[in-house]
Structure 1
Amino acid sequence: MTELNNLWLTETIRLREEHAGPLEDLEANRLARSAGGDLPARIQRRALWLAERDGLSEALKHWLQGARLALIVLAVLAVVSGTGLAFAAMGDGLHPVNVFWALGSLLGINLILLLSWALGLVFAGEHGASLGRLWLWLSEKLARDAKAAQLAPALLLLLQRQKLNRWAIGVVVNGLWLLAMLSALVILLTLMATRRYGFVWETTILSADTFIVVTQALGALPALLGFSVPTEQMIRASGDAALNIESARQAWATWLVGVLLVYGVVPRLLLAVFCLWRWKTGKSALRLDLNLPGYAQLRERLMPTSERLGVSDAAPAQLHRVESGVSEQQSDGALLVAIELDDDRPWPPQLPKSVSNAGILDSRESRHKLLEQLSRFPPARLAIACDPRRSPDRGSLALIAELARSASATRIWLLQAPPGKALDAERLGDWHVALQQLELPFADCAPMNWLETGHD
């Protein structure tokens, strides 16, 4: 995950909370605080955890795949367009080529759109490029992920702060036009190598001197690169009919190729390189704007002036797969904890010396205190004792999942009913289904040997 992607997801989470309200983020805040760092680092860690939990990280991958696919589609269209421009300019070879009509076909649309892009860049300050908007639209459509719709607005807002959107779109637009011009150049050379063309110019109201001046002016820069320019006599003679002289054909063909290269290919190449340079230098300066309300209100939660216990949010509406966030290297010891046991059940059981007792979690304060402790000292093995006479409500299952993410390995102990009482088979089945969804191992016997040694 690149730094840009991290900032992008962070901005997406901010927009989502701004429009839909605060997310359930107790565990995300706790993990961000335990990881340390300055406020931007904690905000990013919180946002990345929420993005992974809510599927935005996967949506970002889909969006990027859609963007690459959209770019391939536009690149193919650019190659086809360049090919079409070359064929339209040169014709079928049966008739002489009007050099200025050919030049207009090859460079006209390109230069008009190039001027439009440059004026929009200078005066409007935004990309305003139809190709850029088409690429963003195609990227979203090809992503095929409903959650990806939130990503494009977040990216534009993030880039606008450093005015990077113009350079990002500039790379795409100029790169595609460069591809079109290169395609036109290759087809032009291929046609000239395989067909015999004659070249003429025609006019009704302009004089021959005008065409001589224009031809020589356009050929001045290509001439510096070694491209030949038709002589004055060749230009005058070509006004009447196509010269059937090999040197004249080659002079006009070389002039046309040189003008296309210098005024079509080179400007797009230089602009694409310039936009890419501005994009790379500006991207390294991207930062979170901590003055935005969505980030400013996180300061007290992620960098509190004093530690407070007893804060808990409502249980999430959907359970998520448990994946431990700790490794064997950073975890140690074994721990037994119980969730909401009745007074008629003696607790704790007799424990080996190497197993610690975390007591019974029966209040918000006790839950929050234990989670904070586990974030600093994660156990290698954690056993969670549950009373299957209680229903597996979402709050209890969310707590089990959060505790399990704080340990390298977790097992659930479904306690037997006290003497004289029985378990409800249907409710016990609900526990089995819920724990299977969490992908946590469970049993109805005490896992003391596993807690002590790590083996059954």
Structure 2
Amino acid sequence: MTDASSPTAFQRLWLSETIRLREEHAGPLEDAEANRLARAEHGDLATRIQQRALLLARRDGQWQALLHWLQGARLAGLLLALLALFSGAGLAFAALGDGRQPVNVFWALGSLLGLDLLMLFGWLIGLLLTRDHPGALGRLWLWLSDKLARDASTAHLAPALLLMLQRQRLTRWGLGLLSNGLWTLAMLAALGTALLLLATRRYGFVWETTILGGDSFIAMTQAIGALPALLGFSLPDVALIRASGDAAIASEVARQSWAGWLVGVLLVYGLLPRLLLTLLCLWRWLSGKAALRLALDLPGYDLLRQRLQPDSERLGVCDLAPATLHQPQAGANPQAGCGALLLGLELDERRSWPPLQLPSGVADAGVVDSREQRRQLLEQLTRFPPERLVIACDPQRSPDRGSLALLGELARCAAATRIWLLSPAPGASLDSARLADWHQALDRLGLQHGDSAPLNWLESGHD
């Protein structure tokens, strides 16, 4: 499985399209933190859109769902490959039988190549005359992939993939690679099984007709066998073909001549065209995939331009509230931080700050109250993450959703974070129920907390 921390360029484009479709159907997502981190990438708009999509996908489960979908797609491809192999072997058994009865050469040829050539012509007509469409095998593979993924977050993944590929006309080549690859396996299995049967059983060959003349079969046999004969396969002569119309000839030369003709025709008209088309589809798929880019003119991406490449920073409400809110989450910055930082979050003005003499090496970020102060602090911590961060909170205030979301964002900017629940301000009493709410909320976030000043930890990294 692909490493969850390093998506490929194709997967980044896929996630961007998935998030765009999700926002198109469910409304804008809560993306303040993702936009801030994407702006810190200092790349072009497409790079920032992809980084934003990756952050939102990791937060809301689409990235893990994509990995599950890819697992299901590989398993679905394996099941179809096994089906193709068994089907090819079955075609050979049906065409040659058990050797007790003579093999009707044209009936065997129809059994081996009839369905393959019919599906091949249908695919070529679809390639020339119609727009990109999944086709029967493509729809079956997509359906199996969704069923085997078993993840509710995969709802937009398959539609996003098809839309992204259709813009570059890649659907026909990707699913053509799947279809022709499966038929190549089927023809390979049919050829191998036919060779095995011909090597281990004795077959006689005849042709039969009621309304056609023998000359027609002679001409048809030689015309079909002309191209394989150029590759060294045997071609029955006129006398042998005419004699085989009466009964199966018992001579070894006759059996070997008909067997070589049948194998050559199967190779040249069954296996080789499918193999060449598979290689063609693979080449077009790889070259087209390398040329994939985000369609920045789409409305969903155009709306992100001002947020990810702003001419000037704007305050206030930028988007409507999303239909569903994500649960606040904490975490830690995987990059090694530097230094220690103490800050207060929405503290009572009657409190003096900082409340204690800070040790050397510990910086004071002051008290954060306004939206602008939050934005500036998050921008600074994104560029210069601290190694240790202590956030002082007033447990007399309710642990509302906005404060908990901010705590989670701040924690993800530092290598390690602790919450300091301050004692009541002078003249105030502590509400035990509200303090219990803080404990429960911080436990859900996974943040370590306490009511004593963790200054020793802040200064030295241990208690």
TM-score (normalizing by structure 2): 0.95
CA contact (8 A) 1:309 1:369 kept: no
Q: Give how far 1:408 is off.
A: 1.3
Q: How does 1:29-428 map to 2 (within 5 A)?
A: 29-309=35-315, 317-328=325-336, 331-349=337-355, 350-428=357-435
Structure 1 residues 84 and 228, CA gap change in structure 2 (3 angstroms): same
After superposition, what is the alpha-carbon deviation per residue over 1:182-214, rounded to whole angstroms, capped at 9, x for unaligned?
A: 111111111111211100001112111111111
Between the aligned partners of 1:218 and 1:2, the Cα distance in structure 2 is 47
Shift of 1:343: 2.6
CA–CA distance in 1 between the matches of 2:422 and 2:406? 18
SS of structure 1 residue aligned to 2:85: helix
- Counterpart of 2:22? 16
Cα distance in 2, alignment partners of residues 10 and 341 from structure 1 = 39
The superposition leaves residues 203-241 of structure 1 with CA deviations (integer Å, 9 ceiling, x where unpaired) of 112111111111111111111211111111110000000
Contact kept, 8 Å, 2:342 with 2:362, in 1: the verdict is yes
Q: How many pairs were matched up?
A: 454
Q: Per-residue deviation at 1:425? A: 2.6
Give the secondary structure class of the aligned counterpart of 1:84.
Answer: helix
- Alpha-carbon deviations, 1:91-137, whole Å to 9, x = none? 22111100000000000000000000000000103245211111111
Closer, same or farther: CA 204–289 of 1 in aligned 2, 3 Å = same
Structure 1 residues not aligned, in runs of 5+: none
1:445 aligns with 2:452: yes
State yes or no: 1:27 paired with 2:33.
yes
Rounded to whole Å, the distance in 1 between the matches of 2:169 and 2:280 is 15
Q: Is the 8 A contact 2:418 2:448 kept in 1?
A: yes
| Per-residue CA distance 1:121-161 (angstroms, 9 max, x = gap) | 00103245211111111111111011112100000110011
Query: Superposition RMSD on alpha carbons, in Å?
Result: 1.6
| Structure 2: runs of 5 or more not aligned | 1-6
Moved over 6 A (4+): 311-316
Aligned to 2:442: 435
Contact 1:121 1:127 in 2 (8 A): no
- 1:253-290 per-position Cα deviation (integer Å, ceiling 9, x unaligned): 11101100110000000000100000000100000011
Distance 2:14 2:433 in 1: 46
> Could you say if the C-alpha distance between residues 324 and 166 of structure 1 is closer, same or farther in structure 2, counting changes exceeding 3 Å?
same
For 1:128 and 1:235, the matched residues in 2 are separated by: 44
Matching residue's letter, 1:434 = A
Whole-Å separation in 2 of the counterparts to 1:308 and 1:383:
29
**In 2, Cα distance between equivalents of 1:212 and 1:312:** 79
Amino acid at match of 1:92: D
Normalised TM-score (structure 1): 0.96
SS in 1 for 2:145: helix
- Cα distance, 1:323 vs structure 2: 2.5
